[in-house]
Structure 1
Amino acid sequence: MDGAQIYREKLARLETVIAGKEPDRVPVTAMVDLFHGRYAGYTAQEIFFDYGKNHDAAMKTAKDFDFDSLLVLNGLEGMNMVLTFMKNNPPLASGARFMTGPFHQILKDVYTKWPGVELDASSHPQFVGKEIMKPEEYGQLIADPSGFLNRVALPRMCPALADLGSPEANAAMLAYGAELSKSGAAQMAVIGQLGQMGIPTFPTSWSYAPLDFVSDFLRDIKNVVLDIYRKPDLVKQSADALVEPLIESARLSGAVPPEVKKALGTNVVECFFPLHLTEYLNPKQYNEFYWPSLKKVLLEVINMGQTPYILFEGRHDAHLETLLDLPKGKIVAVFDKTDPRKVREVLDDHVVLVSGPPNSLLIGGTPQKVDDYMKSMLDDCKQGGMMIYPGADGGISGEARPENVRAVLEAVKKYGTY
């Protein structure tokens, strides 16, 4: 088959699962941020700072591994930049979802560390939690989220912008805007080339769990957990204050032009949600402080016609039943450490199940152990439709052995048919 035929076949397989049905076989949807670079012989520094080498590595990996979809992620969490710029500069916000190495060098952000800069050239980049908002500033965030992010948080988040309006800050913003254009063009080139090779990409919008936004970008996780005891009403109010901005983020980023949908061949728009606090909260805290605001965002995103694509990071076992509050079959749920059998037991086919072998197996296992793992999981969980996400805990690790990744693909073709 030529690239166009392969594209249609893989897209149909993915769309069938997202619709809550069984396709010809279970699809494999992969995410890489460093695996492709190391597979192609590049250092982490080269992959995260050289768009051309990142592109070449992605194409080599796509050619050598028969994934049904492939997301090449070249950055770390940057939803703070989206909400900061969204109200006053939507075009800037649309490209700011992830913090990349070049962005970091321009803005000097305090959240991230990068290979060849603060870290060894072979190291994976790191997201570092910081206390940006002081406890006495909750009221300012609640009263005016956009104003607080722009006037108070941004200069603290990005030292290059510490003196807003100064020549230095203006120069940094101009450089950031130029780099956003380069980064966006490079990303579109990767997506376009993957499409020619027969690998589809869904249009993607961006949102976040409101309380995760507070913990990831403003208070830091440990402080939010303490604030739940010390300032419970303010914690709830801060999450509620962020509901509308996060709905608006999904609305703006999900406004995909008809010609783009036509070119990609799909009307599906996935809205990306990474969940981070879930393991830190007991069920009572989760249901009181975390879930109500997140549920509001998810329901509105679903009402827009988008499909939330949620990464349930950590163990979500204690909170699975809350997902029954959402309409059946309307979210794609990627589970990190929660056994997919437990998900089926509690939720059956209420969510579109996504799981896969952990990176510990892809790094330290053997092809036979991967095959055994995949057969057991597919036999137990594939009924009703599911997707495989190799390296369920964060995407395929840079340390994963290529032969084990191939074993995942071979096992799906053996055991994942319907």
Structure 2
Amino acid sequence: QSLEKPGSAVAMATLIRVAVEGLKYIKAVDSLVNELIKLGYPSLLASITSVPLDFLGDFLRTIPGILLDLRKKPDKVKEACDVLMKETMPRRIILTSKSTGFVLIPLHLNEYLSPKFYYEFYWPHLKRIITDLYNQGVKCQVAFEGRHDAYLESILELPKGWGIALFEKTDVRKAKKVLEGHTCVMGGIPPTLLLNATPKEVEDYVRKLLEEVMPGGGFILSTSTAIPAEVPPENVKSVINAVEKYGVYRR
């Protein structure tokens, strides 16, 4: 209700209060991350960045807004992305000094874009960020949110061994076949499985998946997104037990 009248004194005061609370949150997270680093448990949250187009959609224009902008004023979008690349690259370098050599890059708009928009407005910046960091000795963990099937082969344009590709909806079996020997693939366990399956069903799923993706290495088993709070603990334990039972390389 406080934001019903944009530009009013009430709305502006509300936005200021929101900003103050947001800064408190950021300060608390930063403090926690730094304490964990001191204890020897660095977090990817210490070094996180984004593709310029994602930044515009997430924080400035909304996703529907930036998708319309791509069609109505592509030159402005391209100019804004170039400015963000220029202004934020130094910060990426600073942030990496806190990390253990990894930077987290969550992707949001990749699933929404046509091949034309992906290769014109999105991929060049993502490729440059990953490559520049790699050349500094820093690797990336990229969270390919949504389905990235249409653009899997573009990842092969990156330097071999650039980092880890975490897939949310793309089948990791398919990703492993395309990227084997070039990129480490991560994921494979959908949260819906942990929410709805029995511990025995979870074990059987993990066993079958590992049988397919373990050969040749280059795979990290994980959930494709964060584990929901509602997941039964016994299902998480079943994943761990299955990995210890079936996920060991025998000489």
Aligned mates of 1:414, 1:208 — CA distance in 2: 37
Aligned mates of 2:235, 2:36 — CA distance in 1: 25
Root mean square deviation of aligned Cα: 2.8
Residue equivalent to 1:319: 151
Residue deviations 1:10-45, cap 9 Å, x none?
xxxxxxxxxxxxxxxxxxxxxxxxxxxxxxxxxxxx
Residue equivalent to 2:7: none
Residue deviations 1:302-356, cap 9 Å, x none?
1121111111100000011111111011121110010011112222131111113
The reply to whether residue 159 of structure 1 matches residue 15 of structure 2 is yes
What amino acid sits opposite 2:56 in the alignment?
V
Work out whether residues 352 and 386 of structure 1, in 8 Å CA contact, stay in contact via their aligned partners in 2: yes
Residue equivalent to 2:8: none
What amino acid sits opposite 1:279 in the alignment?
E
Matches within 5 A, 1:264-413: 268-382=100-214, 383-390=216-223, 392=224, 394-413=225-244
Aligned mates of 2:171, 2:157 — CA distance in 1: 21
What amino acid sits opposite 2:238 in the alignment?
A
| Offset at residue 414 of structure 1 (A) | 1.2
How many residues of Structure 1 are paired with residues of Structure 2 in the alignment? 239
Name the SS for the 1:287 alignment partner: helix
Work out whether residues 203 and 242 of structure 2, in 8 Å CA contact, stay in contact via their aligned partners in 1: yes
What amino acid sits opposite 1:207 in the alignment?
T
- Structure 1 residues 372 and 191: CA distance shift in structure 2, 3 A: farther
What amino acid sits opposite 1:347 in the alignment?
L
Aligned mates of 1:221, 1:316 — CA distance in 2: 17
Name the SS for the 1:333 alignment partner: strand
Aligned mates of 1:182, 1:404 — CA distance in 2: 32
Residue deviations 1:227-278, cap 9 Å, x none?
111112222222222112332221111123xxxx8xxxxxx41101000001
Question: TM-score scaled to structure 2, two decimals?
Answer: 0.84
Aligned mates of 1:399, 1:322 — CA distance in 2: 36
| Offset at residue 176 of structure 1 (A) | 7.0
What amino acid sits opposite 2:226 in the alignment?
G
Residue equivalent to 2:246: 415
Aligned mates of 2:26, 2:65 — CA distance in 1: 32
- Structure 1 residues 191 and 213: CA distance shift in structure 2, 3 A: same
Name the SS for the 1:384 alignment partner: coil
Q: Mind listing any 5+ residue stretches in structure 1 that lack a counterpart?
A: 1-107, 111-154, 163-168, 262-267
| Offset at residue 178 of structure 1 (A) | 6.6
Identity of aligned pairs, percent?
Answer: 38
Question: TM-score scaled to structure 1, two decimals?
Answer: 0.52
Matches within 5 A, 1:84-95: none
Q: Mind listing any 5+ residue stretches in structure 2 that lack a counterpart?
A: 4-10
Aligned mates of 2:37, 2:177 — CA distance in 1: 37
- Structure 1 residues 237 and 184: CA distance shift in structure 2, 3 A: closer
Aligned mates of 2:25, 2:165 — CA distance in 1: 33
Residue equivalent to 1:100: none
Aligned mates of 2:25, 2:67 — CA distance in 1: 36
Runs of 4 or more above 6 Å deviation:
175-179
Work out whether residues 108 and 145 of structure 2, in 8 Å CA contact, stay in contact via their aligned partners in 1: yes
What amino acid sits opposite 1:232 in the alignment?
P
Residue deviations 1:140-167, cap 9 Å, x none?
xxxxxxxxxxxxxxx98x81179xxxxx
